[in-house]
Amino acid sequence: MAEEKTEEIIQHNPEKEALRDILKEVASEIQKVVDKIPNISPDEKKIKVDENYPEVQSQMSTTGYFGFWGGLVEKNHPVFSQSVNIERTLPIIKNLKIPTQIRNQGFGSKIVETWEKTFQKYGINVFAVTNIKSYYQDDQEKRAIDFWKKQGYIIPESEKRKDWPYYMIKVAQP
């Protein structure tokens, strides 16, 4: 039922169509970056736009060796709109996973930069990330929050009292 409703909105709402076009461009730009990452099978790093939901993801975004998932949050979202003014949509990255042996070579930050820069062409300048305390439990991975700080993301006031924030936000310069 919920699935049918989402599909209908995407198909008949011009704004949704416009955002879908932006997502397709985002996916294609990220694909160019991801194609250059060595030693991952082409299947695993194939980036696709979901047909039914406003999201972009790698084929095995949560279980695989490499992973990417990004989506769009609607205006008036009860959680995110507490700390950011969502003018049109809020692009959000939930999962970004770079294979251990090729971390710290700039691939993660390049993917994030490409995601943001493509939306910025369309005047979308506010971004978010969740799952900062990822489900990958080694010590190095628990510090992903510092990776996001280096990309310009901050912990909003509403999240500061938590041991781990649910999300971080970035307001980029237009």
Ligand X SMILES: CC(C)(COP(=O)(O)OP(=O)(O)OC[C@H]1O[C@@H](n2cnc3c(N)ncnc32)[C@H](O)[C@@H]1OP(=O)(O)O)[C@@H](O)C(=O)NCCC(=O)NCCS
Residues that bind ligand X in the complex, under the rule CB under 6 A = 93, 95-98, 103-109, 129, 131-132, 134, 136, 140-141, 143-144, 146-147, 150
Cβ-based nearer residue to ligand X, 50 or 113: 113
Spatial separation of the C-alpha atoms in residues 26 and 46, rounded to whole Å? 13
Our CB check for ligand X shows the closer of 65 and 122 to be: 65
Q: Which residues contact 45 (CB under 8 A, 6 or more apart)?
A: 34, 35, 37, 58, 59, 66
Q: Which is nearer to ligand X, 27 or 129 (CB)?
A: 129
Write down the least CB distance from residue 15 to ligand X, Å: 27
- Beta strand 126-130 pairing with 90-97: parallel
Q: Give the shortest CB-113-to-ligand X separation in angstroms.
A: 9
Q: At what angle do helices 107-120 and 14-35 cross, to 10 degrees?
A: 150
Integer distance in angstroms from the first to the last C-alpha of the chain?
39
Nearer to ligand X, 22 or 129 (CB): 129
Closest approach of ligand X to the CB of residue 5, in Å: 28
